[in-house]
Structure 1
Amino acid sequence: MKVELKTWAGLGLATALAGAGLAGCAGEGGEGGEGGEAAQTAPAGEMGEGGEGEGGESGEGEGGESGEGEGGEGGESGSGIGALPVPQRLAFMSGHVAAGIALYRAGEAEAAAPHLMHPVSEGYEAERAGLDRLGFEPDTFRSVSTALEQGKPAGEVEPQLEAAEDNLAAMREAAGGDPAEVIRFLMEVTSEEYAAALSNGKVSDAAEYQDAWGFVTVARALADDLEGEAAGKVAATLDRMLGLWPEGAPIPPAYPAPAGQVSALASRVLLDLPQ
């Protein structure tokens, strides 16, 4: 995943992210959105051969031949993710897990595995910093990861999957924060993720496509915590957004929705959120 400082500045998070970039969600390597719709500024940490960005042969970012990507000790352990406020950081991790669990239940264990590494891999310690005080139960997520490694079907570990979902929901409640701010954060990330997932009208990076679905799923859950008439408007728009992905799980289709549709609905959510 590529998250840019220009975006965070618009969210009032420029100070928290000054000098830091977020790189490397689950194995994401797609750079362009549909027809070149990608992020509007150069992604932080995206460098060439031997660098620390994406695709370098010996880089520490995603996809490097010798690099430590998802599931390794490198991954998303940079200072950027750790600099985010806890509610946003938890929502970020929850989006990955939501995508992973949905894919696992849909029989896509291989696709699910990278997303489900976020709560357990050493590479994501910065992402999990401070979650223990919210009641984080790492053993629950380790049991899911172990089941994946052992090739068990999701039906055999449904209690563990539900326990993982319950733990994330309980932590979100304990974390507090303004749900509107967290949804705003998720919409910005969703737009960037989805644009990066598409190239020439096709899904070129399945992990980014799945991440975006996970973030919208978490945003939809948070919409129920909004107050006033904004709650219904935001929830309805998020339901429309989720309808742009295949029902049940974000398995990339032959003809995905254009990135412009996702970004337009994300903008609608931003306009309807309480200011």
Structure 2
Amino acid sequence: AMAAALKADECQIYTDVDGVYTTDPRVEPKARRLERITFEEMLEMASLGSKVLQIRSVEFAGKYNVPLRVLSSFEEGPGTLITYEDDEMEEALVSGIAFNRDEAKLTILGVPDRPGMAYHILGPIGEANIEVDMIIQNVGADQTTDFTFTVHRNDYQKALALLQDTARELGAREVSGDDGIVKISLVGVGMRSHAGIASTMFRTLADEGINIRMISTSEIKISVVVDEKYLELAVRALHAAFHLDQAREA
């Protein structure tokens, strides 16, 4: 806020890391520090599990067009500049890989396929102040639907109990849950102008024998849910597949 008020050229934020990396170096030792990243990409990565910066600080900087530079409090270095999008940034297909271990998945099977079912399922969840992340609905041939969604792992047991109550009210066939999952996301503004990123991601995971449980996409993000035991393998395989260990050519 002060940097915006002073019309500063940039706001420097000193942290315990020397910049924003392509992914967590503790999971992938070949992770590379990014020289630059867009506000939009940083917002996505922060919301998806990257803990370098708070979401609010990135939102504020983007709103008032104040570039941020993430620097280390313990060593000299150029850090990472969080700034506006330009044509050079769009050349990179993927800028980073974020992941979130704090997810749990819930499924209600055999729900009558009629209007208002999504509200009946998620209404009690929302009233209990439980935040829902990913949602998938599949319609079967027998006039029923299956409904799957994810919540924070801390809310798993509470959400499961609510969903079981809802299943009894709706006459659903079954409720199941899994708190041993992880969400892995590719982030990059280059997705707007390049095709084939999703297929490369899915092929890479398939080659490693990793089954995808859920998929969610946005303009600059592709997220998948997989079993938590595959986190390190999936992140390292995707990091290699998109050549994130290689510096972008000038």
Q: Between Structure 1 and Structure 2, whose CA radius of gyration is higher? A: 2
- Common fold by TM > 0.5: no
Higher helix share: 1
TM-score (norm 2): 0.30
TM-score (norm 1): 0.28
Greater strand fraction, Structure 1 or Structure 2: 2
